[in-house]
Amino acid sequence: MQRPGPFSTLYGRVLAPLPGRAGGAASGGGGNSWGVPGSHVQLPGRSQFGAGSTSTGAREANSVCPGPSAMSKAEEAKKLAGRAAVENHVRNNQVLGIGSGSTIVHAVQRIAERVKQENLNLVCIPTSFQFTHPSPSLQDSHILARQLILQYGLTLSDLDRHPEIDLAIDGADEVDADLNLIKGGGGCLTQEKIVAGNASRFIVIADFRKDSKNLGDQWHKGIPIEVIPMACVPVSRTVTQKFGGVIELRMAVNKAGPVVTDNGNFILDWKFDRVHKWSEVNTAIKMIPGVVDTGLFINMAERVYFGMQDGSVNMREKPF
């Protein structure tokens, strides 16, 4: 359970649901709202898909895996999206940005398969050290993004050695009609934005539940804002005074006190109460002293692959 802290007492009012939204908001607590009972994301050594799967496409991948009875529709959709992105965009001799979350695991699995099958020479830059999976089935386990790369035998690097990334692949918490994203449900938004921002191509993978017309239609946990700890109260006041809504300090689940990011900062979840001009709001929030970055990814995604409930993959592309 969330433990109210000093800041959540000040700013942690329960947000009234927006018109047309189902349900109210709940505090992030280091995870996101897409916990899927029965979902499984397997790390090597705990294979659910069968060792050495040789499928080459999303459709084919579907055919060699347990059906929806063994794997939830959402988890299957994540897998379809992840594999489709890898099929379509990963090429030999690339520097890859590897996102955080549960969806990216499927992409990394497919990357590892292709490295073996095609002897690809790839270098991977992680977007997080640690990601706590929200699924109840993995409540106590931690998927380490950096660890994921290592566990799959991929080549780990960093922006010091490889400052130019060819392709970044990452998940998202929500995608709007213009391919603007909310990210940071797992608290990794700053490193994710650094990696995506230094990539020639940024491709997003998601399941059907993340597809929205407007930000906030599906994702009710707000926009994460990473802040320097001493700035939590002033940033909260400034954001709500300027733009409305309510702000909650994200509290840890298995630790007393706030979530501390990989960068040693706190996360404020801003539960906005209306649709904004996100580009302007993002710039304004970033100008507030103490803000490190926001989970708004504006005009960054080039393509989004959505795994669908019927086993297909929908691709949406932004015209540039």
If one asks whether residue 202 binds ligand 5RP (CB under 6 A), the answer comes out as no
Q: Which of 10, 4, 8, 14 is nearest to 273 (CA)?
A: 14
Rounded Cα–Cα distance for residues 206 and 244 (Å)? 29
Residue 30 found at the interface with ligand 5RP (CB under 6 A): no
Judged by CB under 6 A, the residue of 29, 30, 185, 222 near ligand 5RP is 185
192 noted as active-site residue: yes
In whole angstroms, the minimum distance from the beta carbon of 161 to ligand 5RP comes to 23
Min CB(92)–ligand 5RP separation in Å: 26
Q: Is 269 in the site for ligand 5RP (CB under 6 A)?
A: no
Q: Which of 18, 61, 189, 251 binds ligand 5RP (CB under 6 A)?
A: 189
Amino acid, res. 63? S
Judged by CB under 6 A, which of 106, 183, 250, 271 binds ligand 5RP?
183
Indicate whether 236 belongs to the interface with ligand 5RP (CB under 6 A). Answer: no
Q: How far apart are CA 105 and CA 261, in angstroms?
A: 20
Give the residue among 209, 196, 191 at the shortest CA–CA distance from 39.
209
Pick 202 or 238: Cβ nearer ligand 5RP = 202
Is residue 82 within the footprint of ligand 5RP (CB under 6 A)? no
Among 12, 29, 30, 99, binds ligand 5RP (CB under 6 A): 99
Using CB under 6 A as the binding criterion, the count of chain residues that bind ligand 5RP stands at: 19
Nearest residue to ligand 5RP on Cβ basis:
101
Identity of residue 102: S
**Triad 137, 138, 141: Cα angle to 5°:** 160
Task: Note whether 187 binds ligand 5RP by CB under 6 A.
Answer: yes
Rounded to the nearest whole angstrom, what is the least distance from the CB of residue 179 to ligand 5RP in the complex? Answer: 15
Q: Is 32 in the site for ligand 5RP (CB under 6 A)?
A: yes
Q: How far is the CB of 73 from ligand 5RP (least distance, A)?
A: 14
| Closest distance to ligand 5RP from the beta carbon of 188 (Å) | 4
Give exposure, 224-258, as e/b (b: 16+ Cβ within 10 Å): bbbbeeebbbebbebbbeebebbbbbbbbbeeeeb
| Residues from 141 through 180 that contact ligand 5RP (CB under 6 A) | 170-173
Q: For residue 153, list its beta bridge partners.
A: none
Give the binding range for ligand 5RP (CB under 6 A) out of 57-65, 149-157, 182-190, 298-306. 182-190
Instruction: Tell me the closest approach of the beta carbon of residue 210 to ligand 5RP, in angstroms.
Output: 7
Find the catalytic residue in 192, 226, 248, 302.
Answer: 192
| Encoded amino acid at 302, one letter | E
Catalytic residues: 192
* Interface positions with ligand 5RP (CB under 6 A): 32, 34, 99-103, 170-173, 183-189, 192
